[in-house]
Amino acid sequence: MIRKHMFLDLFFPNRCLHCNMIIDADFLTCTLCFEKIQFTHFDYFGENILKEICKTLFPIENAYALLQFEKESVSQKIIHELKYKSREKTGHIIANWITKRIDFKNEKPDLIASIPLHKKKLKERGYNQLHLFAETLSEFYSIPFDHEIITKVHYSKAQALKDKKHRLKTENIFSANKNISGKHILLVDDVFTTGNTMSAAVWEILTMGNNKVSILVMAIDK
């Protein structure tokens, strides 16, 4: 196994996804390009633009986005590396960035859940880009995770490939799989755009029972 990794590092070295410089296998960018990443510096427990938007869509406890998602930015490249270039371990790296910024203290959620992919999309991509991300957070914070609370029943093309008009058509795209009640659920996703997909998922969770929801996303596109 060690020889295999040495071979891959020698002939297929890991490169900074922004400037293409050869970097350590566990990094996404070089040191200089890391400084160009647009972190939001949100306070998970405080007020921020994401929480304000969510309040207009559904009942919310806390809301947090790690990155500012902008066209041609380093943050966009990071998310696209995860979603469209089969680099699932990017989710693990992003989760580690979050663990350095959020301390749940005595207000830990009871459960971590992720926005599901439709089974056809899952087959096409080969993995759900949120699973390793959620599982890394789960292990660090000692919060159980469940990827099967809700199911996506409506197949659609990637949000990044839609125009704004079609992004709004998200009604009835999820269905509940379990009867969970009286829990504070941390729902995670990659990019928050219009908020309609997140809203549909949150309302499905809320209808299960007397639940509370907080959301955590990798990036906000606002």
pLDDT for position 167: 45
Domains of the chain (ranges, CATH numbers) = 1-36 (no CATH), 40-220 (3.40.50)
pLDDT for position 2: 40
pLDDT for position 3: 46
pLDDT for position 7: 47
List of residues 6+ apart from 100 with CB closer than 8 A: none
CA distances from 190 to 7, 62, 69, 117, 178 (A): 32, 16, 10, 12, 23
Model confidence, pTM: 0.88
Is the Cβ–Cβ distance between 14 and 25 less than 8 Å?
yes
pLDDT for position 161: 45
Q: Comparing C-alpha atoms, which of 116, 107, 102 is closest to residue 145?
A: 116
Q: pLDDT truncated to tens, each residue of the chain (222 aa)?
A: 444 444 445 567 899 999 999 999 889 999 999 999 999 999 999 999 999 999 999 999 999 999 999 999 999 999 999 999 888 999 999 999 999 999 998 899 999 999 999 999 888 899 999 999 999 999 999 999 999 999 999 776 555 444 544 444 556 799 999 999 999 999 999 999 999 999 999 999 999 999 999 999 999 998
**What's the maximum distance between 2 C-alpha atoms anywhere in the chain?**
54
pLDDT for position 214: 98
